[in-house]
Amino acid sequence: MTDASGKGGPTETLMVTKFLRARPQDSWTIDAARRHNNAYQTLDKAFAMEPDAVVQAVSDSVLRGKGGAGFGTGQKWSFLPKDVFPRYLCVNADEGEPCTFKDHMLLERDPHQLIEGIVVAAFAIRTDLAFVYVRGEFALAADRLGQAIRDAYDAGFLGKNILGSGFDLDLVLHRGAGCYIAGDETGLLSSLEGERAMPRIKPPFPAAQGVYAAPTIVNNVETISTVPHIIRRGAKWYNAMGENRSTGTRIFSVSGHVERPGNYEVELAKTSFRDLIEGLAGGVRDGHTLKFFIPGGASSPWLMPQHLDAPLDMDYVQGELKSMLGSGAVMVFDDTTDPLQVAWRLGKFFEHESCGKCTPCREGSGWIAKVLYRMANGQGRSDDLDLLLSFGNNIVPGLNAPFAQTTICALGPSTMSPVVSLNRWFRDEIIERMRADETRRAGLAVTPA
């Protein structure tokens, strides 16, 4: 592979994005996908296997969920209770994490890869009905996926007796109504049932009781899109990429103050943040320096320039850096950035998207946003940061990643991520600034008319 950045170091390893890169003009059509990408050719191989063998292959590959939590996909599939039917597969295409834009690219540009993955996964877990829950805002993605599903039915890759295997599968495209928390798997299931997208108490986990109280597997678009590659080339091939429990590739959506924002698929663990940000994305824009970056979506604690050489290894980032690779959205901020404004904007997002179910998140997210707004706009107090940490401790007991939580889902602790980051990296700077604001305000107040 050639060095895309020209700055050296490891480069992109294209697997799920290979075909859509190769044929940007028509990669989403079934003709192009079949003619130029051998689409649906793994089906025969999968159908020749026992379903449990497919699950085993996915387990052996150490494929981990690529939506954020990084849970072992094969392990999740194996949690399905034996012999309880009906059961369902649900693909989470409600990609709502700020600055994450990998799944909608896969949906728009290579829907047949996803459908092929769905057929294989559905065969593995022995269901005959699968859903794709597509985020409401994804108009083009829903159009193209809808067309792809129709084409797949026409070509016999969906429906009754697929390719003469005796395996039936119907695929339902469901469009959301615009709600971040429908991306939480149980929130998604509630929304799919027609209820408010509010996360459910776990247990029971969806694998025991998901949609319509039946066992349900919920997987991310990128995860399912990876499955055909594992089946086609084997678990060993897949887990030869990367290291430890971070195997294979992941797509990182790099955005912010970089020269070449975009999606980059790289080999996990063997690639560093520096390779990604300075290499592939072209580094911080000219004349500026990196101030901080967010490694895995709005929910992940921020990292600093000194962490650039850290590997893109899920366990390393979580264990050593107390952050996470999350949804793979890397946001880069240069020296022109006010971290308080960033924190406030993220806080505002979480306040807006809190579903309102759990008290700490419903009330706490609004409180955080209000205090951060004050702080970012000259009305802060020197003890505000400690106030945030103090009541935030009731959302995230201990304030340490991996975050504990007093809420049902992970949105609660996410609200504290910007605050924890501010405190970790910018505490002195902020307190000094708040003191200056206090002094300034006091000065204004006593100025004689």
Partner 1 sequence: MTTNAVPMSQWPSEHRYTIPVAPGPETVTVTIDGRAAQIPRGELLIKAAQDHGTYIPRFCWHERLKPVGMCRMCLVEIEGMRGLQISCATPVADGMVVHTTSDAVTTAQDGILEFLLINHPLDCPVCDRGGECPLQDQTLAFGPGESRFVEEKRHFEKPVPISDLVMLDRERCIQCGRCTRFADEVAGDPLIDFGGRGGSTEVITYLDEPFHSSFSGNTVQICPVGALTARPYRFRARPWDLASTETSCGACAVACRGSLESTSNRLVRLLGVDSEPVNQGWLCDKGRYGLDWVHSDARLRQPMVRRAGELVESSWPDALDAAAAAIRNTLDTHGPNGIAVLGGSRGVNEDAYLWARLAKGVLGTDHVDAQLGDGLPADVVLGMPRATIPDLDRAKAIVLLAPDLKEELPVLYLRVRRAAHDLGVPLVDVAVRDHGLTPYATAVLRHAPGDPGAAAGVVADALVGRPGRTKVGKAIVDATDGRDGPVVVILGRTSVAEHPDAIVHAASRLTGLPQVRFLSALANPNVHGALDLGLTPGFLPGRVSLDAGRDHFTKAWGAVPDAVGRDAAGILRAAATGEIAALVLVGCDPLAECPDRNLARAALEQADTVIAVSAFMDTAAFGATVVLPPTVWGEQSATTTNLEGRVVRLGRRVTPDGSTLESWRIPAELAARLGSDFDLETVDEVQDEIARVAPAFAGVDASLLRRARDGVVLPLADHADEVTFGRAGAGPGPSWEPILPVPEVVGDDDRSPSTSASDSPSAAVPAPTPPVPLHRWDAPPDAPSVPPLDAYALRLVAGHALYGADAIVAATPALASLTHEPTLGLNARDRDRLGVHDGDRVRITTARGSVDLAVRTDAQTPPGTAWIVANAAGPGAPDLIDLTSPVTELRVETIS
Nearer to partner 1, 179 or 224 (CB): 179
Nearer to partner 1, 248 or 413 (CB): 413
Nearer to partner 1, 196 or 285 (CB): 196
Minimum separation from the CB atom of position 181 to partner 1 (A) = 8
CA distance 137 to 151: 23
Minimum separation from the CB atom of position 317 to partner 1 (A) = 20
User: What are the structure tokens assigned to 249, written together?
Assistant: 């590739």
Minimum separation from the CB atom of position 319 to partner 1 (A) = 16
Q: What are phi and psi of 111, to 5 degrees?
A: -65, -25
Nearer to partner 1, 187 or 339 (CB): 187
Question: What is the crossing angle of helices 359-376 and 339-353, to 10°?
Answer: 150
Minimum separation from the CB atom of position 46 to partner 1 (A) = 28
Minimum separation from the CB atom of position 324 to partner 1 (A) = 17
Positions that interact with partner 1 (CB under 8 A): 81, 84, 179, 181, 186, 190, 193, 195-196, 198, 200-201, 203-204, 208-209, 212-213, 351-367, 370-371, 374, 387, 390-391, 393-395, 397, 404-408
Minimum separation from the CB atom of position 406 to partner 1 (A) = 6
Nearer to partner 1, 8 or 356 (CB): 356
Nearer to partner 1, 41 or 359 (CB): 359
Q: Which residues lie closer than 8 Å to 152 by C-beta, 6 or more apart? A: 30, 40, 112, 115, 158, 171
Measured at the CA of 20, the angle between CA 150 and CA 25, to 5 degrees, comes to 80
Q: Residue with structure tokens 């399912």? A: 224
Minimum separation from the CB atom of position 328 to partner 1 (A) = 26
Nearer to partner 1, 203 or 287 (CB): 203
Measured at the CA of 66, the angle between CA 216 and CA 210, to 5 degrees, comes to 15
Nearer to partner 1, 119 or 369 (CB): 369
Q: Are 346 and 98 in contact (CB under 8 A)?
A: yes
Partners of 89 in the β-ladder: 130, 217
Minimum separation from the CB atom of position 390 to partner 1 (A) = 8
